[in-house]
Amino acid sequence: MSVNKYLPHVLVLPKDDAKRQLANGFQLNQRVATRKIQILEEAGGWQEVLNRFKADCVPEMDRYANRFMVLRFF
């Protein structure tokens, strides 16, 4: 499910499958607004997390002021 870009939301960019599963577990909590959090596909290593953040996420964060990022690389 995709988030509304114009409302406050969080994107999670996980390093690997273990970090993605951790984020999915967090998202299953009933107190988490699932329409305000989106877990992106795993990047494939901490260096790739940084590369994708710089190349893809930073420009989007400039366009959408209500976007927050969680980078999971350790």
Q: What confidence tens digit (pLDDT) does each residue in 17-61 have?
A: 999 999 999 999 989 888 899 999 999 999 999 999 999 999 999
Residue 2 within any structural domain of the chain = no
Q: Is 69's pLDDT higher than 90?
A: yes
Reported pTM: 0.88
- Could you tell me if 61 and 67 are in contact, meaning their C-beta atoms sit under 8 angstroms apart? yes
Q: Is residue 63 part of a domain?
A: yes
In this predicted structure, what is the pLDDT of residue 15? Answer: 95
**Is 53 domain-assigned?**
yes
In a domain, 60, yes or no: yes
Distance between CA atoms of residues 11 and 2, nearest Å: 10
* Amino acid identity at 62: D
Give me the pLDDT at residue 7, please: 95
Q: What is the pLDDT of residue 34?
A: 86
Query: In which domain, by residue range, is 50 found?
Result: 9-72
Please tell me the predicted confidence (pLDDT) of residue 28: 92
